Amino acid sequence: MTPKSRLSYCLALFAAFVISAGCSGNSVSRDSTPKTVRMSLIPTTDPGKMIRENQPLVTYLEKELGAKIDLTVPTNYAAVVEAVANDQVDIAYLGGFTYVQASKRSGVVPLVQRERDRNFHSLFITNAESGINSFSDLKGRRFAFGDVNSTSGHLMPEYFMREANVDREVISNAIYSGGHDATALAVANKKVDAGALDETVYQKMVADGKLDAKQVKVFYTTPPFFDYIWVARKTLDPGIAESFSSAMLKLHADDVSHKVILDLLNATSYVKAEDRNYDKLRQAATDAGLLK
């Protein structure tokens, strides 16, 4: 083989290699769905219980996304924000406050939320025998919030308490139970005189017989605010995020299998979520010195 023909041969081999590598790369990019989608939820109630109860959702999403769902529920809200920021979680279920934290820190992408999350409320409850009927009765009483990073269990209740000029010592001396269910039980068992929590958790506990509506009473319901939201980490493939959103948006109560999932999520339907709807909550967090 002459030097010229040898050079032509080598160039032809190199060109074939480049074309082959390019085709291989394109096939990977077209198949963008990973084998596993890492999903995490803030612990609104007991983490182990949440994982067990959400298995129908996991099964549904695995079918819709064509990928395994690795579901985790840590012991506190901040851990989910940390995981999303460090690309350790692909899709997360956050409260309004943890959303604005994650948005500021790592630019998470809002996906969907329950229709009811556009008009959410916190409930203030007390033991039926406490004699507490309004904010003015809280002075000198023991009060409980949920997780310090909870929207409906801390941020917004405190915001409305400050607006109502509740005695500052009630707020500064309040305990943090760590979860909405823990707050409800602390009130029911008279470990505290009153507390604030997520309206859906309260309603479910009463419906499930885990909280006696005669033992506790709601003495104040807050004005509405935006709360829970599903988000994707900023670097997640947009196609995966869109597939997740589509799966949630297609859930319909008229479908028996869908209704099971909607019921466990305390939802009737899902809608697209928008970042701008959380501006008021951002301001409340900033005013309270909780968003830096």
Residue 227: what pLDDT? 97
Q: What is the pLDDT of residues 100-132, one digit of tens each?
A: 999 999 999 999 999 999 999 999 999 999 999
What would the CATH number be for the domain defined by 36-118+227-279? 3.40.190.10
Angle made by CA atoms 135, 278, 242, in degrees to the nearest 5: 135
Residue 71: what pLDDT? 98
Residue 26: what pLDDT? 32
Give me the architecture of the 122-221 domain, per CATH: 3-Layer(aba) Sandwich (3.40)
Per domain, the residue ranges of the chain are 36-118+227-279, 122-221
Do 36-118+227-279 and 122-221 share a fold? yes
Query: What is the C-alpha separation between 178 and 187, in angstroms, rounded?
Result: 14
3-state secondary structure of 53: helix
**Cβ pair 24, 18 in contact under 8 A:** no
- Cα of 171 vs its chain's centroid, Å: 25
Q: Is 254 buried (19+), middle (13-18) or exposed (0-12) by CB count in 10 A? A: exposed
Does this model's pTM top 0.75? My answer is yes
How many other C-beta atoms can be found within 10 angstroms of the C-beta atom of residue 179?
25
Alpha helices in 131-237 (DSSP H): 156-163, 168-172, 180-188, 199-207
Angle made by CA atoms 204, 39, 234, in degrees to the nearest 5: 120
- What residues of the chain score a pLDDT lower than 50? 3-31
Query: In this structure, are strands 143-145 and 109-114 parallel, antiparallel, or unpaired?
Result: unpaired
